[in-house]
Amino acid sequence: MAAETTDQAKDTVEVSAAVSYVSGHLFFTRTLELPEGMLAADVPSFVELTLEEMSPFSLEQLAWGYVLDNSSRWVCIMAVCRPRVPPTEQAEWDAALYVLPSFLPLLLRRPSQGKQQCILEADCLTTAYYEDGCPLPVRFTHRPLPRPEVEEEEAGELVPPAEAFPATGYLRIATAREGKDGELLFALQHIDSPEAEPSPMPDLRIENLDTLWTADVRDPGFKQQERKARKLAGGLWKGMLAAAILALVFFLGGVGLIALQQWQGSRLERIARQAPEVEALELKEQNLNDLKQFAGSPFQPFKILEALNQVRLEKFMNGGIEFDTVRLNKDNEILVSGYAGNIGEVNRYADALIASGRFEAMSPPEYQTSSNRTSFKLRMRYLPPTESATTAQSEPQAEESDA
């Protein structure tokens, strides 16, 4: 129902102005033990029947509430006759967060020592009396204290006169504030003597707000509607908060997506700028690989072309044979296309290639004569030199160098 705490709760909201206190001297009270086995849902009906029996006023004239103890075995019924409450105070009730009796802390906080406890609130000094076996006060005495006839700014805190000052001191509600988890906290002070400064006490924490609704003295129908409205407002607020968080997530996601797209575009732009250089490097690397393959391969097109041209120069120093195209493959097969003065020159060139020992004919020469020149095609196969021939060629060169 209620708990004490010595911590000053963070992230709290002051609600003192929204909590209205009704002076204790306007109430009549009754503390009863509930019948064995009574359910909590039946307590309001029980309280209402009890009020009809004990009150000289009709229920329509009463503002009432009740407080259950933690075990739900005892109930303290509180009622005030509406005509006795100043109309100016009643006009503020609808806008208040709660309308509570000024002595509410005495119902929720039993003294650790002694059997009585006092509180000064709403210009009334209320004393609660307790008995063994009952967690709630069994009776109250109320003494209204008149306000001094001075300006409100100069009046200061109301203090009981010396003859009425309780021997054990009294409590006072300094503030009421709403905690971050929705609970209500009453900051209490204790005054030991007329000259003493107020000393702070552990906060009275109301975690179960149903306790405050049952203690609220407003009309039950109004309280029911107000509770529904606050639950709806709380749900709407949570929904709006969730929607705001979701919108923030979408916004941050959109910003992140735009940043990612810009980064991706910048990256693609850099890749496009570097593409020519990369292609040039790849082509250069490919050429190097091709040259390495040619260097270590038996297929050596440059040597073949050199051999073809060398025979042509040796036999036709003054011209007569002209190359148009030379096609090679990796099997050292050659197709020589060109022009000659006549068919005889083509035959002498083909014979010279075969006589060099580096070529063999794959088919007879092909001719096509027109006016004063002959086009031809020679299909030959290049014969790479053997190792012995290569050695023989290198030895004369060595002898010449020795000489």
Cα–Cα distance for residue pair 104/27, rounded to 1 Å: 12
Q: Which pLDDT score, from 0 to 100, does residue 290 have?
A: 66
- Assess contact for 50 and 34: CB atoms under 8 A: no
Cα–Cα distance for residue pair 403/401, rounded to 1 Å: 5
Under DSSP, the state recorded for 182 is: S
User: How many other CB atoms are found less than 10 A from the CB of residue 84?
Assistant: 14
Q: Which pLDDT score, from 0 to 100, does residue 379 have?
A: 92
- Identify the three-state secondary structure at position 379: strand
Cα–Cα distance for residue pair 31/38, rounded to 1 Å: 16
Rounded to 10 degrees, what is the CA torsion of 95, 98, 100, 104? Answer: -160
Identify how many contiguous H helices and E strands the chain contains and give both numbers: 9, 19
What length does the chain have? 403
Q: Which pLDDT score, from 0 to 100, does residue 403 have?
A: 41
Under DSSP, the state recorded for 80 is: E
- The model carries a pTM of 0.57
Cα–Cα distance for residue pair 211/204, rounded to 1 Å: 13
Computed from CA positions of residues 97, 99, 100, 102, in that sequence, does the dihedral angle turn out positive or negative? Answer: positive
First to last CA, the chain: 124
One digit per residue, pLDDT tens: the chain, 403 residues?
Answer: 566 555 544 455 555 557 889 999 999 999 999 999 898 889 999 999 999 998 888 889 999 999 999 888 999 999 999 999 988 888 888 888 899 999 999 998 888 888 899 999 989 999 999 999 899 999 999 999 887 775 554 556 788 888 889 988 999 998 888 777 778 888 999 999 888 889 999 888 888 888 888 999 988 888 888 878 877 876 787 788 888 898 888 899 889 889 888 888 888 888 888 888 888 888 888 877 766 655 555 667 888 888 888 888 888 877 778 888 989 887 888 999 998 888 888 888 899 888 888 899 888 999 888 878 889 999 998 888 765 555 555 555 545 544 4
Query: Half-sphere exposure of 218 toward its Cβ, with a 13 Å CA cutoff?
Result: 25
Q: Which pLDDT score, from 0 to 100, does residue 40 have?
A: 84
Residues contacting 89, CB < 8 A, separation 6+: 20, 22
Under DSSP, the state recorded for 10 is: S
Strand 124-129 relative to strand 139-144, pairing = antiparallel
Q: Which pLDDT score, from 0 to 100, does residue 299 have?
A: 64
Residues contacting 380, CB < 8 A, separation 6+: 333, 334, 336, 350, 353, 359, 360, 361, 362
Q: Which pLDDT score, from 0 to 100, does residue 5 have?
A: 58
Cα–Cα distance for residue pair 277/267, rounded to 1 Å: 16
- Assess contact for 212 and 206: CB atoms under 8 A: yes
- Assess contact for 100 and 212: CB atoms under 8 A: yes
Q: Which two tokens stand for residue 262?
A: 């810009």
Cα–Cα distance for residue pair 243/237, rounded to 1 Å: 10
Cα–Cα distance for residue pair 395/402, rounded to 1 Å: 11
301-396 is classed CATH 3.40.190.10: no
- Assess contact for 179 and 3: CB atoms under 8 A: no
- Assess contact for 25 and 146: CB atoms under 8 A: no
Q: DSSP per residue over 121-181, as a string? A: ETTEEEEEE--TT-SS-SEEEEEE-PPPSS-HHHH-S----GGG--TT-EEEEEEEEE-TT
